[in-house]
Amino acid sequence: MKPAPFSYHAPKTIEEAVATLARVAPDDGRVLAGGQSLVPTMAFRLARPRHLVDINGVAALARLAVEDGQLCIGACVRHAAFERPVAQGPLGELLKQVVQHIAHRPIRARGTFCGSIAHADPASEWCLVAAGLGAEMVARSALGTRVIAAKDFFAGIMTTALREDELLTELRLPLLAPDVRFGFYEFNRRAGDFAIAMALVTYRLKNSAIVEPCVAVGGAEATPRRIAQAERLLDGSMPSADIFAAAADAAAKAADPLDDQQNSADYRRALVRTVVRRALARAAI
């Protein structure tokens, strides 16, 4: 099948892009980034946007830089950029490990980090990273710019706080201190598939005890999020298989899993327990 007819717009600057979006968004205008989610849905006519605002020609959106303790990821930075460390310390290494779980190489060469965030698939690895590490999203429209915290950004399955006339110009991730330990674990049935459940954990050690724990879960619920019940158990505890199992149990109990024909809520809850425990074990290595 071919996409339904649409008008194509190719702005060269951010100002031009948001001005075009202001004009066409009310008439079902959409941003086109890597096209790896939008174009297949158009080909199946599940989406029929009347206008596409192609941001790939906006050079300013390809920026990937460390600034004021944050990694700034522009809207046109592809997944593949993270296949090598893009920041010193644990953050660059974390992103390098996580990106290997996103789709396949051709999709990683085209799809963008910010496109994943705007698309907000519950099983997106980058959405989990953004929620776990407390990213900031920079949204720009003809009316101005606003910065949205990750905890306020993901509103539901493929639903975000972005308005239809807003362009996500950049996402900012805080750099991680050199002694931050991290672990990521994802479960899917075939390599390259979307996650059925995944966990990202970080923590530091102070006098051998866990401090500043972060336990974030994605894929299992409608939106990725940190699980405070698991973090409370870990905080101040010595790392051990028992405390990791207890935190994983707490995460599973706190989860509100999705339920569909392929994966029941009970199955996903059991997976949450497993992925959290394994992510914690990886962080301890």
Ligand X SMILES: Cc1cc2nc3c(=O)[nH]c(=O)nc-3n(C[C@H](O)[C@H](O)[C@H](O)COP(=O)(O)OP(=O)(O)OC[C@H]3O[C@@H](n4cnc5c(N)ncnc54)[C@H](O)[C@@H]3O)c2cc1C
Question: Which of 112, 237 has the CB closer to ligand X?
Answer: 112
Q: Which of residues 153-182 bind ligand X (CB under 6 A)?
A: 162, 167-168
Cβ atoms 49, 32 nearer than 8 A: no
- Shortest spacing between CB 235 and ligand X, in angstroms: 30
The residue with tokens 């989860």 is 255
- What is the contact mask toward ligand X in residues 242 to 271, using x (rule: CB under 6 A)? ------------------------------
Cβ atoms 98, 183 nearer than 8 A: no
- Shortest spacing between CB 39 and ligand X, in angstroms: 6
- Shortest spacing between CB 208 and ligand X, in angstroms: 36
d(CA 135, CA 21): 24
Q: Does 14 bind ligand X (CB under 6 A)?
A: no
Cβ atoms 89, 176 nearer than 8 A: yes
Side-chain-side CA neighbours of 248 within 13 Å: the count stands at 24
d(CA 182, CA 87): 15
Side-chain-side CA neighbours of 16 within 13 Å: the count stands at 14
Exactly one of 6, 86, 90, 125 binds ligand X (CB under 6 A); that residue is 125
Question: Which of 167, 247 has the CB closer to ligand X?
Answer: 167
Q: Does 141 bind ligand X (CB under 6 A)?
A: no
**Angle at the Cα of 159 from the Cα atoms of 162 and 1, rounded to 5 degrees:** 105
- Shortest spacing between CB 206 and ligand X, in angstroms: 34
Piece in contact with ligand X (CB under 6 A), picked from 3-11, 63-71, 105-113, 173-181: 105-113
d(CA 54, CA 42): 15
- Interface contacts to ligand X, rule CB under 6 A: 30-38, 40, 75, 102-103, 107, 111-112, 114-116, 118-119, 121, 124-126, 162, 167-168, 194
